[in-house]
Chains A and B, each alone.
Chain A
Amino acid sequence: MHAPAPESPRFCWCGESYVTISLFTEVDIWSVAGVLRLQRQLAESDIADTIIAMVPGWTTLLLWLDADVADPAAVEEAIATAASAGADREIEFESRIVTLPTVYGRETGPDLEFVAQANGLSVDDTVERLQATQFAGMVSFSPGMANCMWVDSSRALTAPKYDSPRTTTPPGTVGLGGSSISLYSVATPGGFQMVGRLAAPIYQPRPALPAFGDSPTLLRPGDRIVLQAIDQDALTVITEEVADGTYRYAIEPGSCRVAAGELTWM
């Protein structure tokens, strides 16, 4: 796997507190890795303590700065330095492996058969492909909502979005639209095909389960996610464990190394 030639980044101040940095024009695993690499570089740069937050996009990075202390010239220099050094430098970013038990099909995944037909596959083969490792490039829009792509693009499925979006989508729904998987965290309108439902929450407004720690959201940009198929009996057990606060998510530490034309998952 080789990186496309680095495109020159451009940046735009948005008011006095934000900068949008555009790195790529096409979305693929390289663009996402490139954005996460830039995020890591800026977090280690001279301007790190003037950054309030960074939001990775598919091809962009949004910087939210403390405008009362940030020096705009230093910010622009740090962006240019990080972007120009980025292509050669070896950078690692965190990429945990999070296994999320999922009930596919049935009433909580009513579009599974349509997706199977659209891809010319059996339902069993479709579920197998849905269990191939996903890469969460963005955790965004709704609280804790993960937007993912297949790590191995040869395993990817494709499906059109709904012609007319649903007015609501149940929390925990696994949706497929284009070649992206979205994990819905709260009830929101949506247009992705509903193929299954997560057995355990990825958002808790009052963090209660141990895996959440102090954060109401479970997933982070850069996570690898395995949507593991479970049956109704396993769902019953997990539902009880979630209710009594004892459920343990399977989360393994991991990282991704980006270096001269190679992505290495560890």
Chain B
Amino acid sequence: MDVMQVLAPGLSTTLQDLGRRAGLDSGIPPGGAADDYAYRLNCLVLGNPAGAAVVEHVLKGGRYQALAPVTVALTGADMAATVNGTNIPLAAPVSLHRGDLLETRVARRGCFGYLGVAGGGLAGDRILGSASTYLDGQLGGLDGRMLTAGDVLRSAAGRAALAPMVEAPDEHAYLCSPPARLRFTRGPQPEYFDDPGYAAFTTEPYRVSPRSNRVGYRIDGTCPAVRPVPRTKDTGSGPTDIIEEGNPIGGIQIAGGKEIICLGRDCGTSGAYAKIGCLIGPDVSRLAQLAPGGRFRFTEVSPGQARSIRADYNAVLDEVAQRSRAGPRHHQTFQASHEVTAT
């Protein structure tokens, strides 16, 4: 069923979901929502199964007209959303009538915003079990590309059983609020950095560069000093060149011995630069919500701490899921004004 027409698409707006579990050994990155937690919260709010495709906005939202009665929800970045000019809340189901105008704007908090529709999410090209758009590979989503004005979004009905809708508590709307500290585990190439290097890396202030995207987040700030490691026939000649190996999402590469790049969900599946560390899973999502220029520091944690932090984040989502199961008293669908103020 056609549910919405794109009137204005935003900047780099794509369909995303949980991403792909297959293809990583053949050069296809996992992809999926840059802020995995905001995405999963969106699915919970609408009673959609995890894996439902949503619209992902980056920095700037878009304008949409409902082509049929449809319930939507917005999570992640706060893009000052309105329906027919009336403000609507984040992380709550909102009913649209046919003809209603949904508008999301420049993010006033966060960076990646999600627009989901109830009833199983949006339809997209499902490749290797996911409709996530991988722009560099022109794969998935809508013909592997960004949304454009005139596109019609269809619902992917009939995929899975739906849960009741639920409004998330306010404190959960910003689950991955832009962070002051990003947590990483050390390695896998710690030999390229010495203790003073790690000490500097965990005390210096850093900023997200405007030259960041779903492939990688470039980080401005003092690059940690690189220790000379003997070059071999198999490493390149650069100071942080290593033998090419598989890339973990969140890996913190030191490119050319001088540039810090955190690997995003659409990164090349292999790389040949030393990694000083790897962000823990929840902080890959939190980094995504730092807009260009956003300031933060790096903090080292152990793999055990990383697992425990992950469990804390999962517990928050579990709590929302429990509210959903507890019944309809938590579901107050927001009704927007029916008066259309623009077309």
Contacts and interface: CB of A to CB of B under 8 A. Distances in A.
Interface string A51-86: 011111111111010011000100000000000000
B246 A56 contact: yes
B255 to A, nearest CB: 14
Contact of B269 (A13, A27, A141): A141
A60 to B, nearest CB: 4
Given A14-B278, A141-B270, A206-B127, A64 B27 contact: no
Interface in B17-50: 21-28
B248 A20 contact: yes
A158 B228 CA distance: 27
Contacts of B243: 27, 57-60
Contact of B137 (A12, A61, A68, A205): A205
Interface residues of B, number: 53
A55 B112 CA distance: 28
Interface stretch (A109-117, A143-151, A224-232, A257-265): A143-151
Contacts of B251: 14
Interface string B261-284: 000000011110001001111001
A42 interface: no
A53 B25 contact: yes
A18 B278 contact: yes
A16 B307 contact: yes
A57 B270 contact: yes
B244 A140 contact: yes
B181 to A, nearest CB: 15
Contact of B244 (A13, A52, A138): A138
Tell which of B26, B137, B188 has the most Cβ of chain A within 10 Å.
Answer: B26
B245 A13 contact: no
Given A58-B234, A205-B137, A206-B127, A15 B26 contact: no
B167 to A, nearest CB: 25
B245 A60 contact: yes
A55 B125 contact: no
B26 A217 contact: yes
A216 B28 CA distance: 9
A215 interface: yes
B184 interface: yes
B246 A140 contact: yes
Contacts of B303: 13, 15-16, 72
B247 interface: yes
Interface in A161-181: none
Given A186-B136, A205-B137, A217 B27 contact: yes
Contacts of B26: 139-140, 143-144, 215, 217, 219-221
Contacts of A55: 24-25, 245-247, 269-270
B27 A141 contact: yes
Contact of B139 (A59, A64, A145, A205): A205
A214 interface: yes
Given A141-B268, A145-B27, A216-B28, A206 B137 contact: no
B25 A139 contact: yes
B307 A140 contact: no
A22 B188 contact: yes
A186 B137 contact: yes
Interface of A: 12-18, 20, 22, 25-27, 52-62, 64, 67-68, 72, 138-145, 147, 185-186, 203, 205-207, 214-217, 219-221
Given A18-B249, A60-B246, A72-B307, 11 more contacts: A15-B280, A20-B188, A20-B246, A54-B246, A56-B246, A62-B245, A140-B27, A141-B244, A147-B244, A216-B28, A216-B137
In the complex, the 8 A-B pairs of residues with the closest C-beta atoms, listed nearest first: A62-B246, A55-B246, A57-B245, A14-B278, A140-B270, A18-B248, A13-B303, A12-B188
27 contacts: A12-B186, A13-B303, A13-B306, A14-B185, A15-B248, A16-B310, A17-B281, A18-B249, A20-B187, A20-B188, A26-B233, A52-B21, A55-B270, A56-B25, A59-B243, A60-B245, A64-B248, A138-B244, A140-B269, A140-B270, A143-B23, A143-B134, A147-B244, A205-B144, A206-B127, A215-B128, A216-B139
